[in-house]
């Protein structure tokens, strides 16, 4: 379904091969990671990004962090706890990171109260194999869920008043390169293309790191004739909507609170306000692992603030006076009332009132 | 009043000296222009930018285009017409360009019906001196009007509920470097600083050409301790407003239609929608020469579209796949209903119903 798409990540049996997304679109470079420190660094530096892809990467990272650990099952489980805590510190907002690490930890623990105090059964090697199997399961499930999200969201798009080609706008990259499958926000485009539908997609470039122009435009420009892609600066989306150019907006999510408030790439909140103003529907697409029921509302989602140089030195070249203050949050939170629907692998998700 | 500010433009008596704003903030380079072709190029390439500064520059450019013209008054006036048509083709949206060129043309023509068919009186040299005098008058008036705008707008700001320092957000650069005086949008900051008021200013970086981070942050960082300036990407303004950080938004204008609809730097329309959503007042500051009563509404204002490479190759480095479509309008139009007040040198301007 991904066709000639680049591979976001691949488990080789001994290492995790990642496409280095910091170097797109100019260079196609793969890096092989063999230990948890390299995985932490790859997540931190956005070599791999996108909440679902981060989750899969972290799960393999947990395995690589314990694969050479000595000792019995209990020793390996203790080491796994440390590795997971370490990996969880790479980035704070995308909940899929913590969700995936929790899954691998749960996979090797007996239910509480079981004789043995809840430690893993069998030998240290048994624990390692269970962790690897869980990472592979997370990986395969991610691919499956992308296809299911795409199916559900495509049906919603086709019910809207829309043109042919369908005119869509997206922000950042929640595509194939943000997952191990066909993406979250962009998944209905891939599913639709398979059925011969055509799309015209406007990609917000998404400052400061330009994931929209570097990554979304790149992956969609490889889709062949069914997708026409145009890049614009983030501040041009209102101009497009004011001219009635956009049938719908598709975005991903990094964490969704229990009330539906959605943390996603910085700029999503403003885009949602503008979309509401012009009556353009905005869909959030994310696997259910992005929903964090432990957080009651969006204001409680921790927001990562990143290095000032991302803003002041685009491509390493100074564009602001030395010493100026910088505001550089990586995410914002869109209140649920500005979102038309949240779509997961199970279809439309509605928060409990 | 500009203190240690850089000089946007200076008439040397024989040439127009411009600060090359394409090279800020890394380099402070002045260029001396001596003919109309250099002036056209400087306006086109944004060596000088900002509607009021473009107007003053064009007026001097008109003089430089005729100063060596041979012949009598009629010959020089005919040449002036050609030069003005040529300079008017540099950029289409900012009406101050056409306004300034019309002023120098009117300055050398007798009223219609006057014996001589409306051609300039006196010798060719008389015509040239009148054009130069009119350019100087436009220049001096621009400086005066900036101060008056600043005074009016400061009074409006002080009537708002605001903090100390006053928390402002601005987009693009409508400051001292967009005029020959203390700016349009930023003028109340300069006036306020003179009175000991303090300001905290958030400057949208303003993609694609980053006039906010390169120019606004630069000029405000030279104001001393009364102004604290922070830069953010354009898509972060909603995040700031959602946290209640902004007391008011100040922007300039490139052309205002008779109904109050305002063409300004791309992104202003979206910012105004977001400001309305959060109840943040948004003021447009511009000299009355920016009001184009010949245009009934904003949809009729011609919008300049600029080179795709401004979006795809920031600082010359490829950030989007080769051959991708690009949408790069330099301006958008904010409907009057989203604007709190339009402030000119004469105070608040209200369109006729």
Contact A318 B26 (CB under 8 A): yes
Q: Tokens standing for B41?
A: 């190029």
Beta partners for residue B250, in sequence order: B170, B283
Please tell me the predicted confidence (pLDDT) of residue A5: 65
Which residue do the tokens 């595509």 mark? A175
Which of B233, B239, B311 shows the shortest C-beta gap to A232?
B311
* Count of alpha carbons within 13 angstroms of residue B28, beta-carbon side: 9
Cα-Cα end-to-end distance for chain B: 37
Contact B327 A218 (CB under 8 A): no
Cα–Cα dist B64/B60, whole Å: 6
For residue B240, list chain A residues with Cβ-Cβ distance below 8 A.
Answer: 327
Minimal CA separation from B229 to chain A, in Å: 6
Please tell me the predicted confidence (pLDDT) of residue B352: 83
In sequence order, the 6+-apart residues with CB closer than 8 A to the CB of A337 are none
Sheet holding B30-33, edge to edge: B9-11, B16-19, B30-33
Q: Over 80: is that where the pLDDT of B293 sits? A: yes
Q: Which residue in the list B142, B234, B247, B254 is annotated as catalytic?
A: B254
Please tell me the predicted confidence (pLDDT) of residue B118: 55
For chain B, the average pLDDT equals 94
Q: Tokens standing for B56?
A: 């003053």
Mean pLDDT on B321-326: 95
Angle subtended at Cα A275 by Cα A270 and Cα A279, rounded to the nearest 5 degrees: 155
Q: Tokens standing for A248?
A: 């719908």
For residue A208, list chain B residues with Cβ-Cβ distance below 8 A.
Answer: 233
Nearest CA in chain A to B328: A232
Contact A327 B236 (CB under 8 A): yes
Confirm whether A254 is a catalytic residue.
yes
Q: Taking the alpha carbons of A306, A311, A314, A318 in that order, is the dihedral positive or negative?
A: negative
Q: Over 80: is that where the pLDDT of B41 sits? A: yes
Q: Tokens standing for A322?
A: 């030395």
Neighbours of A7 (CB within 10 A): 13
Which residue do the tokens 């000089």 mark? B7
Minimal CA separation from A201 to chain B, in Å: 10
Please tell me the predicted confidence (pLDDT) of residue B1: 43
Please tell me the predicted confidence (pLDDT) of residue A352: 83
Cα–Cα dist A327/A312, whole Å: 10
Minimal CA separation from B163 to chain A, in Å: 19
Nearest CA in chain A to B323: A221
Closest CA to B38 of B21, B17, B8, B69: B17
Q: Taking the alpha carbons of B140, B146, B148, B151 in that order, is the dihedral positive or negative?
A: negative
A7, A19 Cβ separation under 8 angstroms? yes
Minimal CA separation from B195 to chain A, in Å: 24
Tens place of pLDDT for every residue, chain A, 353 residues?
A: 444 567 999 999 999 999 999 999 989 999 999 999 999 999 999 999 999 999 999 999 999 999 999 999 999 999 999 999 999 999 999 999 999 999 999 999 855 555 555 565 589 999 999 999 999 999 999 999 999 999 999 999 999 999 999 999 999 999 999 999 999 999 999 999 999 999 999 999 999 999 999 999 999 999 989 999 999 999 999 999 999 999 999 999 999 999 999 999 999 999 999 999 999 999 999 999 999 999 999 999 999 999 999 999 999 999 999 999 999 999 999 999 999 999 999 999 999 87
Please tell me the predicted confidence (pLDDT) of residue B109: 81
Mean pLDDT on B159-173: 97
Q: Is A245 exposed, middle or buried (0-12, 13-18, 19+ CB in 10 A)?
A: middle
| DSSP-derived 3-state class of residue A249 | strand
Please tell me the predicted confidence (pLDDT) of residue A231: 98
* Percent of chain B topping pLDDT 70: 95
Nearest CA in chain B to A335: B242
Closest CA to A214 of A33, A19, A55, A10: A19
Q: Is B331 left (phi over 0), alpha (psi -120 to 50) or beta?
A: beta
The per-type count for chain A, helices as H runs and strands as E runs, is 11, 15
Buried b (16+ CB within 10 A) or exposed e, B233-265: bbbbbbbbbbeebbbbbbbbbbbbbbbbbbbbb
- The kind and range of the H/E element at A10 are strand A9-11
Interface with B, mutate which of A165, A222, A230, A319 (most B CBs under 10 A): A319
Q: What is the pLDDT of residues A178-188, one digit of tens each?
A: 999 999 999 99
Q: What is the pLDDT of residues A123-140, one digit of tens each?
A: 999 999 999 999 999 999
Mean pLDDT on B71-76: 93
Q: What is the pLDDT of residues A265-295, one digit of tens each?
A: 999 999 999 999 999 999 999 999 999 999 9
Nearest CA in chain A to B210: A319
Q: Tokens standing for B33?
A: 């222009």
Residue B30 DSSP label? E
Nearest CA in chain A to B268: A235
Minimal CA separation from B32 to chain A, in Å: 24
For chain A, the average pLDDT equals 94
Interface with B, mutate which of A200, A208, A236 (most B CBs under 10 A): A236
| DSSP-derived 3-state class of residue B342 | strand
Contact B233 A267 (CB under 8 A): yes
Nearest-Å Rg of the Cα atoms of chain B is: 20
Interface with B, mutate which of A204, A235, A242 (most B CBs under 10 A): A235
Mean pLDDT on B260-267: 98
Please tell me the predicted confidence (pLDDT) of residue A1: 43
């Amino acid at each position: 379904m991904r066709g000639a798409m680049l591979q976001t990540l691949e488990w080789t049996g001994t290492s995790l091969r990642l496409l280095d997304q910091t170097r797109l679109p100019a260079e196609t470079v793969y890096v092989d990671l063999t230990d948890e420190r390299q995985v932490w660094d790859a997540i931190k530096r956005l070599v791999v990004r996108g909440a679902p892809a981060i989750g899969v990467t972290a799960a393999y990272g947990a395995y690589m962090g314990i694969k050479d650990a000595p000792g019995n099952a209990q020793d390996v489980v203790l080491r796994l706890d440390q590795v997971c805590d370490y990996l969880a510190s790479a980035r704070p907002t995308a909940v899929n990171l913590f969700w995936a690490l929790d899954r691998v930890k749960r996979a090797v623990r007996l239910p509480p109260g079981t004789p043995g105090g809840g430690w893993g059964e069998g030998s240290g090697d048994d624990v390692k194999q269970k962790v690897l199997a869980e990472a592979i399961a997370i990986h395969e499930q991610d691919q499956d869920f992308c296809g299911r999200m795409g199916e559900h969201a495509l049906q919603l798009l086709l019910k809207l008043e829309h043109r042919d080609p369908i005119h869509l706008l997206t922000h950042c990259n929640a595509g194939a390169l943000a997952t191990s499958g066909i993406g979250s926000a962009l998944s209905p485009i891939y599913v639709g293309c398979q059925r011969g539908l055509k799309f015209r997609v406007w990609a917000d470039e998404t400052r400061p790191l330009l994931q929209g122009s570097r990554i979304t435009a790149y992956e969609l420009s490889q889709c062949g004739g069914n997708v026409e892609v145009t890049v614009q600066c983030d501040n041009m989306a209102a101009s497009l909507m004011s001219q009635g150019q956009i049938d719908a907006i598709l975005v991903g999510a990094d964490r969704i609170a229990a009330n539906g408030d959605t943390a996603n790439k910085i700029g999503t909140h403003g885009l949602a306000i503008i979309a509401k103003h012009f009556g353009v529907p905005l869909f959030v697409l994310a696997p259910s692992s992005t929903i964090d029921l432990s957080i009651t509302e969006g204001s409680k989602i921790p927001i990562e603030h990143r290095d000032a140089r991302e803003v002041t030195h685009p491509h390493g070249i100074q564009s602001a006076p030395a010493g100026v203050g910088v505001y550089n949050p990586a995410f914002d939170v869109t209140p649920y009332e500005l979102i038309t629907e949240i779509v997961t692998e199970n279809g439309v998700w509605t928060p409990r009132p």
